[in-house]
Structure 1
Amino acid sequence: MKYQIIPVTPFQQNCSVIWCKETLEAAVIDPGGDKDRIMTEVKKLGLTLTKILLTHGHIDHVGAAQALAQQVNIPIIGPHKEDKFWLDSLPSQSKNFGFPEVAPFMPQQYLQDGESVVVGKQTLQVLHCPGHTPGHVIFYHQAMKMAWVGDVLFRSSIGRTDFPKSNHDDLIHSITQKLWPLGNDTQFIPGHGPMSTFAEERLHNPFVADELLD
């Protein structure tokens, strides 16, 4: 599997185009905005977009999902159903964060912990990782040792837990009990900022370093 990170929205959210090298079938993870920029990149890469994958329901991750899905006639998959209230609140999120208004929508499929999503001949494992939002999921590609973690974990930081239905203890549990078992050599693409590895965060992250949590 290959990927291309496309920072979108004024929040510079890391939207990712991922694709199967064999079939050139692709998915977009977290198209928060800038739909035309995303589609320009998809076309430049010669890919066929087949689905949209969402980690959670915050507008900077889902703002362009419905428009993109309608343009290409593809399904929206994810997040977990516990984030339905975030998708229902997209008009108020638009106002609160200064985004163009986005209408509520329902994905064609909510995701559960332990499910998988197929892109071409590649498979992503789905892990439910609540805390930042109650319905947050992450996508993990085992062969690449790569995880798309949304706003669960960042380089040297973790997701905010001051939103409605956020929970700090749940977030720490998701990181230590869902992400760390994937292996220290796992690279991850966060929702914002640079990539890192779980090994690096276990050593140096001031919120979840092993020495802090022992």
Structure 2
Amino acid sequence: MKYQIVPVTPFQQNCSIIWCEKSKLAAVVDPGGDINRIEQQLEHHGLTLEKILLTHGHIDHVGGAKALSESTGVSIIGPHKDDEYWLSSLPDQSKHFGFLPVEGFTPHQYLNAGDTVSVGEQSLRVLHCPGHTPGHIVFFSAQDKLAWVGDVLFKGSIGRTDFPMSNHNDLIESITTVLWPLGRDVTFIPGHGPISNFGVERDQNPFVADQLFG
């Protein structure tokens, strides 16, 4: 599976285009905005978009999803239904964070832990990782040992839990009991900042390093 990170929105959120090399079918993960830039990259790589995938309902991750869906005719898939509140509150989020007005929406399909999502001939496993938001999910490619973790985990940090419906203990549990068992050699693409891998974070991350839980 191939991927390209496309930074979008004033928050420089890591939107990802992921695709199956054989079929050239693609998905866009977390199109927070700047959909013209996303569509240009799809065209540049000769890709056909088949779906939009959302990790959670914060505006910098989903603000462009409805417009991209309407522009391309593809379905919006994810996050977990427990983020319904955040998707419906997008008009308020846009005002609060200084974004252009964004309408609330309901995705074509919510996802649950254990679901799989296809991208061409490749597949992603869905992991439910609440904490940053209650309905946050992670997309994991076992074949390529890649995970798209949204705002659950960052290089050297973890997601914020000072938002409504966030829960710090849930976030720590999601990281240590859902993500870590995937393997130390898994590379992850976070919602913001540089990529890293679980082994490095288990050794060095000041919030979730293994030595903190010895």
The one-letter code sitting in structure 2 at the alignment partner of 1:176 is T
Provide the alpha-carbon RMSD of the alignment: 0.4
Instruction: Quote how far apart the aligned CAs of 1:213 are.
Output: 1.7
Q: Deviations over 1:84-143 (max 9, x none)?
A: 000000000000000001000000000000000001000000000000000000000001
2:164 maps to 164
1:63 maps to 63
2:102 maps to 102
1:196 maps to 196
Instruction: Quote how far apart the aligned CAs of 1:11 are.
Output: 0.4
Instruction: Quote how far apart the aligned CAs of 1:3 are.
Output: 0.3
2:34 maps to 34
Q: Please tell me whether residue 125 in structure 1 is matched to residue 129 in structure 2.
A: no
Moved over 4 A (4+): none
1:93 maps to 93
The one-letter code sitting in structure 2 at the alignment partner of 1:33 is G
5+ residue gaps, structure 1? none
Q: Please tell me whether residue 54 in structure 1 is matched to residue 54 in structure 2.
A: yes
The one-letter code sitting in structure 1 at the alignment partner of 2:13 is Q
Q: Distance in 2 between matches of 1:59 and 1:43?
A: 25
Q: Distance in 1 between matches of 2:97 and 2:61?
A: 12
The one-letter code sitting in structure 1 at the alignment partner of 2:33 is G
Q: Distance in 2 between matches of 1:198 and 1:38?
A: 28
Instruction: Quote how far apart the aligned CAs of 1:206 are.
Output: 0.4
1:143 maps to 143
Q: Distance in 1 between matches of 2:47 and 2:39?
A: 10
Q: Distance in 1 between matches of 2:116 and 2:168?
A: 26
The one-letter code sitting in structure 1 at the alignment partner of 2:71 is Q
User: Per the alignment, in what secondary structure is the counterpart of residue 127 of structure 1?
Assistant: strand
Name the TM-score, length of structure 1 as normaliser. 1.00
Name the TM-score, length of structure 2 as normaliser. 1.00
Q: Distance in 2 between matches of 1:197 and 1:51?
A: 26
Q: Distance in 1 between matches of 2:149 and 2:32?
A: 15
Q: Distance in 1 between matches of 2:71 and 2:82?
A: 27
Q: Distance in 1 between matches of 2:195 and 2:104?
A: 30
